[in-house]
Structure 1
Amino acid sequence: MILTRGILTLPEIGDQAEALAGAWEQLKQQSSWVQDYLANNEYDEVVFIGSGSSYYQSQVMATTFRLWLGRSASALPSSDIFLFRDQSVARDRKILLVGVSRSGESSEVILALDSVKDLANWTTCGITCYESSRLGVMTPCLVSPLGKEQSTVMTKSFSSMTFMMQAAIAQAAGGSILEEMEQVLDLHGDVVKRANSFAESLAEANDFNKYIYLGMGAYYGLSQEVCLKLKEMSYVWTESYGTLEFRHGPKSVVEPGTLVCLLVSENARSYELKVAEEMKAYGAFVLLVTTAGGADTEFADAVFELGGGFLSDEARAVLYLPLLQYLGFYTAMKRGVDPDHPRNLTQVVTI
């Protein structure tokens, strides 16, 4: 019998280093977009919007924008703009609205951008993988050319679009930050290769009944995304929290059989590892995804080392994704679920 489950998703995760490289090259052709929008200081606030995974991307993008450019930015679900705009964004400010959508066809993103098209103080732009999509046609977009996917679940599209927007922000900021993004390209291929076997072994050796993902700063949006990946692909119930926030009530769910995965930053490493140690004491299996292990991580059950400790946390963000995308994939395969075509889901969500 020929195995047909996962034949789309597995190579798409594996191809993401090439997708990042394609986004990098494409950005060189779209430098005018960067100058017209991200480098343009006339906006009081930049609002990144998306739905599902694209909303989680938006959180990473907004965090990076605020830090690297020192200007106001926020991330919102697309529906907040066309249904609750005045509750979500202060009136009478000059706004740049950035639509984020893999397909460029998500109804909620299109409705959000369309709802502000006649407002004098709003300007729109976007990022997608499909230049001929409705999003790509209705407003100027960055395009990740190799982010296109056949599978339902976002993997390389998420990584390449997040990387591309961060690189665009770095370009607008100037200085050494853009060099950091180029160094991410050099590290990414190796991370993808090592992550595959590590995740497969982890999934095969363990039967977890609860999955918790924790992250802070730019990694909070990532923790939500990898939580969603596992849930979409394998149908297991999982949750994500801000790392220190998890201690304020939610930690009551931790018991033996719980996987607690921390996306460890360098900025808050000592605080985050204290949380991890506490969860280990409650019986959790602790997985740390970090730049490097050391004496402070020896308590953990598993440590995946990314490298790149010389990079800023934000620049390093996409390096955290391959392992946890693969973990979703191999968990699904172990459970007999097809990660290519999750039940109830479609590539494009319309309303």
Structure 2
Amino acid sequence: MCGIVGALSKTNCVPVLIDGLKKLEYRGYDSAGLAVQGDVDHRIQRARSVGRVAELETTAKGLQARVGIAHTRWATHGVPSERNAHPHISEGQGVTVTVVHNGIIENHEEVRQRLTSQGYVFLSDTDTEVIAHLTHQHLVSGKPLLAAVQATVAQLEGAFAIGVIADNSPGTIIAAKRGAPLLVGHGQGENFLASDASALVAYTKFISYLEENDVVELTHQSMRVFNAQGQLVERAVIESQLSADAVELGPYAHYMQKEMYEQPGAIAATLEMVSNASAVKPELFGVDAAQVLPGIQNILILACGTSYHAGAVARYWLESIAGVPTQVEIASEYRYRKSVLAPHTLVITISQSGETADTLAALEHAKHMGVEHALSICNVPESALIRASNLKFLTRAGPEIGVASTKAFTTQLAALFTFTLVMAKLRGQLAVDQEKTLLAQLRHLPSAMQNILALEPHIKQLAAHFAEKRHALFLGRGVHYPIAMEGALKLKEISYIHAEAYAAGELKHGPLALVDADMPVVAVAPKDTLIEKLKSNLQEVRARGGELYIFADRDSQIESSEGVHVIKLLDHAGHLSPILHVLPLQLLSYHVALVKGTDVDKPRNLAKSVTVE
């Protein structure tokens, strides 16, 4: 959520800031702004706008400076408006300070009241403005900018990443991090700041990730990092593997389309260590895995949104193949309820970004309850979630820009299935010939996915049927019920059609009352042990005049007829069927959104990285 870019550049920093914000648009935002510090008079100049970064680019035309900070805002406090857009300014007594901020300041009301009583005037509804006024207060008391920011963050409660410049501190950016991602980019005679490496890949590949409670002082020539105790510390400089091409749209109409078609390659990259092996090994999940995993008796999966759906699929795999009792919890709920933690439990956290605030907080809660071992499945190698877990698996999906997750989801499933095989083997539940068969199926996945993506023209034809609908039901049974949940989520995310998913056997326990000719019903129908049960559920829909859209295996013996539209995929893919069956649901939601004319990559009200609660 939100995005921060800062630059101390050799030449005009405004194009750098604008370009960086454009790279962060995928995170979700409703307004944007920047502030620069004059090269000669050090005067702070600001430009802000509601809407897209392209509008800010027009507003900021003519600004020139070598030092600046910029921001895209996703509203949490106060409606989207120019007055609430960042950067926020505090000025008076000959000092001007401006701040950009990601996160939420939980004690902002208390601080606001105190500052108001001391004569500070608030011009926005945001929690961020208290940071600007607090910093200003410390500056006019005589503190230099670094000390002023250190004193300010000591007074703040909540999660934040901030960037600060002031006219009395030329050539300097101060930044701080607590509970929200922030990194420094290193150049030759220039330095950068960002909440995401994708904003900086065009300017530097060398970055340092800040750690919890770090405060950093940046100039054109130097970086000094101080920890919570005010001690000077070192933060490693690493070379990012992210390429500029990876975040470019290329020949595709939308990032979501690009990322759907990248799934076979992303799966191949994720499974590279598995595909080239004759057997699965615990070491795939970390150097300590061989010692940790044999003692695991229970699994608790914590995740949000699409990642939660991946965990729900994994529960079926882990219990049916490996025989491991498995719980799946919505991370945003888990930390706020009293729960009983079974002995010898492994916590698995799943997140595309590795910065999901609710998932990080849920992991911390589990640790406080006594969990000793945590496995993180994530797409970002230096993320907070990876650093917080002693076991880890990187999905290697590459940057995912579209807000509606596609390739991150399927690579998470591939990782979780691999983990299932490891646990099954350790528990004596996986025969050698079965292991070889399942590994061969994993190796075949990219090819099978290509074959399903080739069905896009047929799926596109179905999209027109949905364009005028306001509601839809998705049905699945067994391990495919979470896939129905994911299909419903995709449709509502990008087409704004209200969609719900049900385990198909629950249809007659209530949802059937909704079925009529205006309520399309989408069914995930693999030819597995539940196919005959599912066929009965589908007949219940047709008997009430409901129109069916069925994604079936080629050998499922379900045929198209009046009111029944069938897309046939492949012969049944066994345990890996969920990974294949989600692809047509992604394509369906994409083409329905195109027909409706919605913003596919940046749906309203949503953000890619949910870094606040």
In the superposition, the TM-score normalised over structure 1's length comes to 0.90
1:337 aligns with 2:590: no
Opposite residue 268 of structure 2, the aligned amino acid is A
Which of 156, 159, 167 pairs up with 2:418? Answer: 167
CA–CA distance in 2 between the matches of 1:6 and 1:232? 18
**Paired residue for 1:45?**
298
- SS of corresponding position for 2:335: helix
CA pair 329-91 structure 1, distance change in 2 beyond 3 A? closer
Q: Would you identify which runs of 4 or more consecutive aligned residues in structure 1 move more than 6 Å? A: none
CA–CA distance in 2 between the matches of 1:258 and 1:6? 29
Select the structure of larger CA radius of gyration: 2
CA pair 92-320 structure 1, distance change in 2 beyond 3 A? closer
CA–CA distance in 2 between the matches of 1:208 and 1:318? 27
CA pair 134-121 structure 1, distance change in 2 beyond 3 A? closer
- CA shift digits 1:240-291 (9 cap, x unpaired): 1000101211111011122111111311001101111221221222111121
CA–CA distance in 2 between the matches of 1:125 and 1:251? 40
CA pair 167-121 structure 1, distance change in 2 beyond 3 A? closer
- SS of corresponding position for 1:152: coil
- Give how far 1:110 is off: 0.5
CA–CA distance in 2 between the matches of 1:302 and 1:340? 28
CA–CA distance in 2 between the matches of 1:209 and 1:120? 46
- Give how far 1:92 is off: 5.0
- SS of corresponding position for 1:127: strand
- Give how far 1:203 is off: 0.8
Q: Choose 341-350 or 199-208, whichever is displaced more.
A: 199-208
- CA shift digits 1:32-86 (9 cap, x unpaired): 04481798232231011101111111100111111110111121111333222x4
Opposite residue 417 of structure 2, the aligned amino acid is Q
- Give how far 1:123 is off: 1.6
CA pair 112-37 structure 1, distance change in 2 beyond 3 A? farther
CA–CA distance in 1 between the matches of 2:300 and 2:531? 29
**Number of residues of Structure 1 aligned to a counterpart in Structure 2:** 342
Asked if the contact 2:354/2:378 (under 8 Å) is kept, the reply is yes
Q: CA RMSD in A?
A: 2.4
Opposite residue 489 of structure 2, the aligned amino acid is L
CA–CA distance in 2 between the matches of 1:68 and 1:339? 37
- CA shift digits 1:278-323 (9 cap, x unpaired): 21221222111121256543446211222132x32x3211101111
**Paired residue for 2:463?**
203
Identity %: 20
- SS of corresponding position for 1:303: strand
Asked if the contact 2:300/2:327 (under 8 Å) is kept, the reply is yes
- Give how far 1:7 is off: 1.6
Q: Choose 339-348 or 162-171, whichever is displaced more.
A: 162-171
CA–CA distance in 1 between the matches of 2:374 and 2:448? 33
**Paired residue for 1:18?**
265
Which of 305, 310, 328 pairs up with 1:57? Answer: 310
Which of 352, 362, 381 pairs up with 1:112? Answer: 362
CA–CA distance in 1 between the matches of 2:598 and 2:380? 28
Asked if the contact 1:92/1:121 (under 8 Å) is kept, the reply is no
CA–CA distance in 1 between the matches of 2:556 and 2:401? 40
CA–CA distance in 1 between the matches of 2:358 and 2:503? 26
CA–CA distance in 2 between the matches of 1:248 and 1:83? 30
- CA shift digits 1:162-221 (9 cap, x unpaired): 122112322443423333322333311111121x21221111355434311011111111
**Paired residue for 2:180?**
none
CA–CA distance in 2 between the matches of 1:27 and 1:115? 32
- Give how far 1:28 is off: 6.3
- CA shift digits 1:1-26 (9 cap, x unpaired): xxx99521111111111111111115
Gap regions ≥5 residues in structure 2: 1-250, 425-429
**Paired residue for 2:374?**
124
- Give how far 1:151 is off: 1.2
- Give how far 1:155 is off: 0.8
Opposite residue 240 of structure 1, the aligned amino acid is A
1:284 aligns with 2:573: no
In the superposition, the TM-score normalised over structure 2's length comes to 0.53
Opposite residue 103 of structure 1, the aligned amino acid is S
Asked if the contact 1:23/1:160 (under 8 Å) is kept, the reply is yes
Opposite residue 197 of structure 1, the aligned amino acid is P
- SS of corresponding position for 2:373: strand
Please give the residue correspondences for 1:30-41 in structure 2 after superposition, counting only pairs within 5 Å. 31-34=282-285, 36=289, 40-41=293-294
- SS of corresponding position for 1:40: helix
1:157 aligns with 2:408: yes
Asked if the contact 2:264/2:447 (under 8 Å) is kept, the reply is no
- Give how far 1:132 is off: 1.0
CA–CA distance in 1 between the matches of 2:346 and 2:316? 16
Which of 536, 548, 554 pairs up with 1:274? Answer: 536
Which of 559, 578, 586 pairs up with 1:317? Answer: 578
Which structure shows the higher helix fraction? 1
Gap regions ≥5 residues in structure 1: none
1:177 aligns with 2:438: yes
**Paired residue for 2:608?**
347
CA pair 346-280 structure 1, distance change in 2 beyond 3 A? same
Asked if the contact 2:296/2:344 (under 8 Å) is kept, the reply is yes
Asked if the contact 2:376/2:386 (under 8 Å) is kept, the reply is yes
CA pair 123-91 structure 1, distance change in 2 beyond 3 A? same
Asked if the contact 1:56/1:224 (under 8 Å) is kept, the reply is yes
CA–CA distance in 2 between the matches of 1:289 and 1:45? 34
**Paired residue for 2:205?**
none
Asked if the contact 1:47/1:62 (under 8 Å) is kept, the reply is no
Structure of greater relative contact order (alpha carbons < 8 Å, 6+ residues apart): 1
**Paired residue for 2:345?**
95
- SS of corresponding position for 2:346: strand
CA pair 280-6 structure 1, distance change in 2 beyond 3 A? farther
CA pair 124-204 structure 1, distance change in 2 beyond 3 A? same
CA–CA distance in 1 between the matches of 2:290 and 2:356? 22
CA pair 118-210 structure 1, distance change in 2 beyond 3 A? closer
